[in-house]
Amino acid sequence: DQQVKQNSPSLSVQEGRISILNCDYTNSMFDYFLWYKKYPAEGPTFLISISSIKDKNEDGRFTVFLNKSAKHLSLHIVPSQPGDSAVYFCAASGTGTASKLTFGTGTRLQVTL
């Protein structure tokens, strides 16, 4: 039962353009959402997060949008840079200050020159 889904296994974007990574979830108890970036042979690195009481959070080139009614969130990266090439994981957690994260299967982003 995949509660967090990233339906696009890969995405290729030209340098300077916008990258949009999507994530859907099914569990309405999730109230906190995070995006992690992962390079090969390294651990996931936290990028940006959003609470369910918000619909947008921005940090530099990264913006996360949350649509609670559609149970959908997206990560926008603009402008995309070659160093952004990595696997991006969406994760969700339930109520409480400390609880497990449920991850999607990841989207591999390739930023081309």
Nearest-approach distance from CB 29 to another protein, in angstroms: 14
CA angle 68, 54, 2 (to 5 degrees): 40
* Contact map string, positions 11 to 50, toward another protein, x by CB under 8 A: ---------------------x-x-x----xxxxxx--x-
Q: Rank residues 53 and 113 by Cβ distance to another protein and give the closer one.
A: 53
C-alpha 20/C-alpha 42 separation (Å) is 23
Q: Are β-strands 86-93 and 102-103 bridged in parallel, bridged antiparallel, or unpaired? A: antiparallel
- On the CB side of 42, CA atoms within 13 Å amount to 11
Q: Report if residue 105 touches another protein, rule: CB under 8 A.
A: yes
**Interface residue list for another protein (CB under 8 A):** 4, 6, 32, 34, 36, 41-46, 49, 51, 89, 91, 93, 96-106
